[in-house]
Amino acid sequence: MTPPDGRRLVGRSPVGRGVFAIEDQELPLPDPIALDTSFVVEALIATQPLHGVCDPFLTRIFNSGISIVTSELLRVELAEAAFAIALKERWGGKWRGHRTDGRSRPRAGRLLNHTLIRYDEMLRSMTHISIPLGDTASIAPTFMTDYGIASYDAAHAATALAAGTETIVTTDTGFALLPASLLTVYTDSSRVASCRKKRPR
């Protein structure tokens, strides 16, 4: 199936306010497809609650041979997550107040290495389009002011559109603040209803 804009799709056509569950094995895969940090975190870290959903979907993307699009922001967010894991492991719910405590840094450094090595392996396994923030700097603020989307989400959404895909894979319902005509959201089934509810009418 090839839509008018030339994107290659595999499977059936999307419906439903532009929000779809990644558990659906018939879900079309546009080429390329954008990945958000929230999806990558779940796919890479085996102890995450949605790993069992996101890892198979990433494998499905791999098997289909399509290209993936990411913002360079994703790498920074992963590093931040790794650092925060070390803090949270040591300090629990009070981790935010211990950011400058050096005792967590050795563990943070190891986690950061583990995380980025895995991320790089993921990227090296597929054709990958890496979009610098500078290439989307004029679009992201427009999304924020027009639709109230958060800055990081705006950067990832702008990345997708700048690269020529209208679909992002995410577990962050904030992307649904953009209209369905602009961005299609692929998410896990537990978030489909809340995403559809957030869509502007």
Partner 1 sequence: MEGVAKTQTNGKIERLSPERLAELTHPPAYKTVEERRAALKRATEGFRVKVRVTPDMYGRR
Specify the amino acid at residue 20: F
Question: Which residues, at least 6 apart from 35, have a Cβ–Cβ distance to it below 8 Å?
Answer: 68, 69, 70, 74, 168, 169, 170
| Alpha carbons 156 and 175: distance in angstroms, whole number | 9
**CB neighbours of residue 72 within 10 Å:** 15
Which residues of this chain interact with partner 1, rule CB under 8 A? 37-38, 41, 43-49, 51, 55, 58-59, 62, 67, 77-78, 80-81, 84-85, 88-89, 111, 114-115, 118-119, 121-132, 134-139, 142, 150, 152-153, 158, 161-164, 172, 174, 182
Nearer residue to partner 1 within complex by CB, 67 or 98: 67
Nearer residue to partner 1 within complex by CB, 6 or 12: 6
Nearer residue to partner 1 within complex by CB, 85 or 195: 85
| Alpha carbons 96 and 78: distance in angstroms, whole number | 17
Please, are residues 168 and 160 in contact by the beta-carbon 8 Å criterion? yes
Please, are residues 183 and 160 in contact by the beta-carbon 8 Å criterion? yes
**Residue 12 CB, nearest distance to partner 1 (Å)?**
26
**Residue 24 CB, nearest distance to partner 1 (Å)?**
20
**Residue 195 CB, nearest distance to partner 1 (Å)?**
15
**Residue 27 CB, nearest distance to partner 1 (Å)?**
19
**Residue 103 CB, nearest distance to partner 1 (Å)?**
16
Nearer residue to partner 1 within complex by CB, 12 or 177: 177
User: Taking the CA atoms of the chain, what radius of gyration do you get in angstroms?
Assistant: 17
Nearer residue to partner 1 within complex by CB, 39 or 186: 39
Joined tokens for residue 188: 């896990």
